Structures are given as structure tokens and as C-alpha cells.
A and B are shown apart, each in its own frame.
Chain A
Amino acid sequence: MSQTLQTPRAAKPNEDADALIERFGSTRKSRFSRHVILCVIGLVMMYPLLWLVSSSLKPNGLIFEDLSLWPAEWSPSNYTEGWNALEYDFGIYFSNSIIIVVLSIVGNLFSCSLAAYGFARLNFTGRKLFFALMLGTMMLPGHVLLIPQYILFAKLGWLNTYYPLLVPNFLATNAFYIFLMVQFMRSLPQELDDAARIDGCGPFRTFWSIILPLCRPAFATTAIFTFISVWNEFFGPLLYLTDPELYTVPLALRQFIDSEGQSQWGQMFAMSVLSLAPIIGFFIAGQKYLVKGIATTGLK
């Protein structure tokens, strides 16, 4: 296992340094035992996911009988039958989820980048106070706002629409992303703004032409985090969407338990795999940004 893990090298400059330290600081035996420990932990952690994938390809009768990961008998029809197992086909649920995710990403990028630029680069009365307020909302548990927000959205006639899930994202209510972008923008040299100003740029032009293009990594991080959290989100849709036609993928998946009497585990697992696949895909594509994102906001 450790052999295969060593061969594919990511193009990372400190990778060779790692290998050097590894050789320098420890005996061969302790190196080996560390790899063994890590592989065992990794295997235990991955096993449920592997079992999920393999069960999604087994006929119902075999899922709890044959515990090996390699299906003795293949049943790819779980996917086609699971796709149509509920009231609407999963194409509806997936497109609902995709609409909400895409608009949430747009909303967060738009509103949080504006707010972040204001906090990071402009000077105005009360900036420190507002910034402290923004950090405070980061710690505020969301459930305190839940009931009045629900009443408000109900009075606005927004129940069974996507507005309660989308509008807050266009109003920079995700302080975490503002904070992430503020941290990033503060690391850009102030001379850029000064130069732009001397060339006659106002704050909007500076924001649009100078700062935005440089913030792409922070935007990528925001987009990926938004994708994962909105794609997984269960509570908001559960609260605001009661019409099955509007359901997102997590709400749809949950319906499989309601119809559990039929024991269609294979179909449920097949749809579970499909619901996790986009997250895993985004994770593989954007791991660099995710790791950097939590490292920067986590540390400072």
C-alpha cells in the first residue's frame, strides 16, 4: 500500500523536503510503522464508503448477506430503478439542487466580495465596529434566528419557494466567507490601490479591475465551500420546502426511509452514491483551495 502511495507525486515543492526529513529524522522501522498505522486508519475510514459503493451494485438480497466488497452478483439496475423510485425522478431533484447551489455560489461571491473589499481596503466611519459585528455573527448560533426568520419568510409568502435559501446568500450573511476574503485581500500590497488611484481609478474601478482578478484563489475557495455546504444542506430545505416537486437531493434521499417497508436498500445506496459523487469530484478538483482555506481562516 505504501508503495503505491509513494509513486504519484503531486507537483509540490515541499514534497522532496518531506522525503528528506523522513529519511533524516527516523529509522527505517519507525517510518514503516507510521505508514502502516496511517494505512490502517485510512482503510477503516474509507471502508464504509467503499461498502456503500459496492452495496449500490448488489442485488437487495445480497447486501447484508455477502459482506465482501466485490459483488458476487452485479445489479446495476439499482441505479436506473432508484432514479425513478420516488414520486419524481431524480433528474428533478438533482436539477433543483444544482439551481440552488449555482445561485448560492453567485450570491456569496457577489455580496461577500463587496463587503470584504469594504472592510479590507476602504476607510469609513464605524468600520472597526461593523467588522467586530461581522465577526460576532460568525460565532452566533443560527438556531436563535430561526423562528423569527421563518415567520418573516412565511409572511412574505416565501414558503415553498427557493427565496429563503437564496436571498440570504445575496446579502452577505455568510460571515465566514467575508472573513476569508478579507484575510486574502489584506495580504495584497497596498501599493496596488495607491497606483490605481494615481492613475485615476475610483474605489469601484480599483475593486473591479485590480482586486477582483487577484482574488481568484479566495473566490475558488469560497465557491467550493459554498458548493459543499449547500449541496449537503438539509435543515433549510426541510423547513421551507414541503412540495416534493421542489425537493433537493438530501430531502429526496430521506424519503427512502419513509418507504422502508419495501427494503429497496440497493436503490437507496445507488442514489446515495450519486448524491456524494459531486462532492467527491469537487473535493478532488479543489483540494488545494480547501486546505488553504481552512488553514488561513483557522489560523489567523
Chain B
Amino acid sequence: MTTTSTETAVMPGAVAPPAPQTKRRRGVRKDRAGYLFLLPWFIGMLFTIVPFFASLYLAFTDYNLLNAPKWIGLENFADMFSDPVLLKSLKVTFVYTFVSVPLSLAAALGVAMILNRGIRGLPWYRAVFYLPSLLGASVAVVLLWRYVFGFDGIVNAFLGWFGIDAISWTSDPDYALTTLIILHIWTFGSPMVIFLAGLRQIPVMYYEAAAVDGASKWRRFRSITLPLLSPIIFFNLIQSLIASFQTFTQGFVMNNGGGGPANSTLFYNLYLYQQGFGQFNMGYASAMAWTLLVIIAVFTAITFFTAKYWVNYDS
């Protein structure tokens, strides 16, 4: 690679090698091909990097799209602490994330373990469990959820068989978020497929050896499966946390753009949307966006930091 790569720049049709070039010129020509291939990406990065810093700047301004941004220092951040609706939306997002992420990952791992033990019809089962995760973010399914959990819906009908009184799932502040948590768990299929791929890489002989040594089922799970799967659990956890903090569509469609009964499904990003694009408080919305970025970064960092205690990388 090191010596021959200088020839990369020789164009088709050039029969005789060109006159000897200085090393630097060859380097420039070599670079040029790479930069040409990355050209669209470079332009795209401008659409990422410039807005990234622009929103940091806007976070310290008062801006409503019509007048020029006015620098107000930390006022937006100070306002956030005394904004009860914002604190409520933060709480909704936290409850949603810290209940639904562990439950859906547990469901994903559990079903993947059952599927992994050499079962007939695996492609069929996998398809059935995976499909909902492709549909979960669609407006059609969130609309469907409104009626499945509606007062006359099938969930209440089912509970009725067991003598449980009908619950106003979507209009009772105590239950509205629960319906969306259940929707999140319903989409456990995509982490499940990743778990399944990971489980298949664990050599069967480990289990055989452990079984010979008399390890119980639980012991085999705890001492073989969990450690060897931990990098994948880690990956799924980070992915799900980041995605879940940014939930929007579910909350928006469920209550037609509002926050639901007593703002019980007012997700953080939904409130950000209301502030930024409903009331055009774009400075405040930028401050909210950066606050969420910091929150996500902190939780990702915590997960990374704890990783050395539970993630096993030397398989």
C-alpha cells in the first residue's frame, strides 16, 4: 500500500509513466481523489457544523425570526429553571425513557434468548417480532394506538373480561404516558434482531462445558451469556437512550399537537417545537436544544464510564 499507492493517480490510457514527480505533488494528487469523493459530504458537513454553532449562539439570544437576534446572556437558561411547563416536559421525557428503555431491552433480550435456542420457523417469528419496530414511528400506528387504548377500545374490552373497570387511557393524566410506553415496548424488535445476531456468535461449547461442570441455567445466563453479550447490550442501551430522549411524533399525534391531559405526554422535543415554531421563541428553543444535548451527553458519558465495570471487551 505504501509504495504502490503513488500509482493511484495514473489515469487510464496513460501508457508511459509520467515524468518523475516530487513526493509532495504526488501527495496532492493522491489527496485530490479522496477529497473529490468526499465533496458532497464536505458540503453536507457545512449544513451540520454551521447550524451546530449557530444554535449555540442563538441559545444566548432573544430571537423571533423577524428581528435580529438580541444577546441576552444566560437569561434563556435562567428562564428554563422557572418554567414549570419545561420542568414537566423534562419529567415526562425522563419517566418515558427510564421506564420504556429497560423494559423494551429486557423484552428484546428475553425473546432473542428463546429464539436463539435453535427453533423451527425462526425467520417467521423474527419477522413477526421485527415488523412492529418499523411501524412504531408512523402516524398510522400512533393513531391506531389512540383507539386501541380508547375508552371503547380493545384493551378495555380485554380488561373487562377480568372484571377490571374501563380506564380512560388517553384522557387520564395518570395513564396517558403509559400507553406510549407500551407503544415503545411494542417496538422491541430492532434491538432484538441485534441481540439475536450477537447471541449467535457465542460458541455453543461454552454452554456445553458449563453444563458438564453442573452450572444451572441461571448461572449459565449470568456467567456466559450476559458477559459475552455486554458490548451489544451497551450498544443497544446507548442507541435507545439517545432515540428515546428525542421522542416527538408519538406525543404530537397522540394529542393532536398538544401535551395531552395535564401535559402528561408533553415530551421535551414537543415543547421545544411549540416554543420554537408555535411561538417563535427561537432563542429559548435553541437554549432548550442545547440543554437536551448536554443531558444526552451526560447520560451517554455515564453509560460509557460505567461500561468498564460491566462491559466485557476481551472475547
Please give the residue numbers on chain A whose beta carbons come within 8 Å of chain B beta carbons, in ascending order. Answer: 2, 5-6, 8, 10, 12, 15, 17-22, 24-26, 31, 34-35, 37-38, 41-42, 45-49, 51-52, 55, 63-64, 67, 110-111, 114-115, 117-119, 122-125, 127, 130, 133-134, 137, 139-152, 154, 168, 170-173, 178, 190, 194, 197, 200-205, 207, 228, 231-232, 234-235, 238-239, 250-251, 253-254, 256-258, 265, 268-269, 271-273, 275-276, 279-280, 283-284, 287, 290-291, 294-295, 298-299
Contact = CB atoms under 8 A, between A and B. Distances in A.
Contacts of A279: 134-135, 138
A59 B235 CA distance: 46
A18 B122 contact: yes
Nearest to B27: A125
B54 A172 contact: no
A275 B126 contact: no
Interface of B: 1, 4-5, 7-14, 27, 30-31, 33-35, 37-41, 43-45, 47-48, 50-52, 54-55, 58, 65, 111, 114-115, 117-132, 134-135, 137-141, 143-145, 147-148, 150, 152-154, 157, 186, 190, 193-194, 197-198, 201, 204, 232, 235-236, 242, 245-246, 248-249, 252-253, 256, 269, 272, 276-277, 282, 285-286, 289-290, 292-293, 296, 300
Contacts of A46: 128
B12 A205 contact: yes
Chain B contact surface mostly: helix
A12 B37 contact: no
A173 B44 contact: yes
Nearest to B32: A124
Contact of A51 (B11, B154, B256): B154
Contacts of A205: 12
A202 B117 CA distance: 49
A143 B246 contact: yes
A67 B157 contact: yes
Given A26-B117, A269-B144, A67 B44 contact: no
A165 to B, nearest CB: 13
12 contacts: A6-B121, A114-B41, A143-B246, A143-B292, A152-B50, A173-B47, A190-B1, A232-B135, A234-B252, A257-B143, A272-B140, A287-B123
A224 to B, nearest CB: 10
Chain A contact surface mostly: helix
A145 B115 CA distance: 40
Contacts of B12: 200-202, 205
B84 to A, nearest CB: 22
Nearest to B148: A48
B41 A115 contact: yes
Contacts of B296: 141
A290 B7 CA distance: 38
A161 B33 CA distance: 34
Contacts of A52: 140, 144
Contact of A253 (B14, B139, B204): B139
B120 A19 contact: yes
Given A38-B114, A45-B186, A145-B48, 17 more contacts: A19-B118, A26-B117, A46-B128, A52-B144, A111-B40, A111-B44, A124-B34, A143-B289, A148-B55, A173-B48, A202-B9, A202-B12, A203-B37, A205-B12, A232-B138, A253-B140, A295-B193
Which of the listed residues A26, A47, A283, A298 has the most CB atoms from chain B within 10 Å of its own CB? Answer: A298
A280 B127 CA distance: 10
A134 B128 CA distance: 34
A82 B194 CA distance: 38
A21 B118 contact: yes
A299 B154 contact: no
A276 B140 contact: yes
A291 B126 contact: yes
A154 B66 CA distance: 12
A147 B193 contact: no
Contacts of B50: 148, 152
Contacts of A250: 138-140
Contacts of A37: 114
Which of the listed residues B45, B120, B135 has the most CB atoms from chain A within 10 Å of its own CB? Answer: B120
Contacts of A275: 138-140
Which of the listed residues B140, B232, B292 has the most CB atoms from chain A within 10 Å of its own CB? Answer: B140
A148 B61 CA distance: 13
B55 A41 contact: no
Given A234-B249, A279-B134, A141 B242 contact: yes
B138 A123 contact: no
A201 B9 CA distance: 9
Contacts of A265: 147
Given A45-B186, A171-B40, A276-B135, A38 B125 contact: yes
Nearest to B45: A133
Nearest to A268: B143
A31 B118 CA distance: 10
B268 to A, nearest CB: 9
Contacts of A147: 51, 55, 58, 276, 282, 285-286, 289
A279 B134 CA distance: 8
